[in-house]
Amino acid sequence: MFREMSSRLSGELSRRYHGVRGLKAWHVGNEYGGGGGMCYCDSCARGFRRWLSDRYGSIDDRQSVVVREVSGGSTIHDWSEV
């Protein structure tokens, strides 16, 4: 589904902004990894969250570097939001 929707979005953006000189690129997706053997299925996501919790414990300290890195700068209240 992601591939289909990002392809559709790319097509719409291309049609809309074709010829706009100030626009050089548009990043579709906001995930910079190319896969690299990583899996994002529900089971792996749960495992990653469990690892975060085991390694870093509570996220009560919202100013911690770890929480900022993991959350992409967003405010999170529970590891399940990652």
Nearest in space to 17 (alpha carbons), one of 4, 29, 6, 26: 26
Over residues 13-32, mean pLDDT: 78
Domain that holds residue 57: 40-82
71 vs 40, residue with greater confidence: 40
76, part of any domain? yes
Contacts for 78 with CB less than 8 Å, ≥ 6 apart? 59
Cβ contact 20:46 at 8 Å: no
72, part of any domain? yes
14, part of any domain? no
Q: How many domains does the chain have?
A: 1
7, part of any domain? no
- Gap between the Cα atoms of 66 and 35, Å rounded: 22
- Gap between the Cα atoms of 60 and 2, Å rounded: 33
68, part of any domain? yes
Angle at 43 between CA 40 and CA 77, to 5 degrees: 80
The string of pLDDT tens digits covering residues 59-80 is 775 446 566 666 666 777 788 8
74, part of any domain? yes
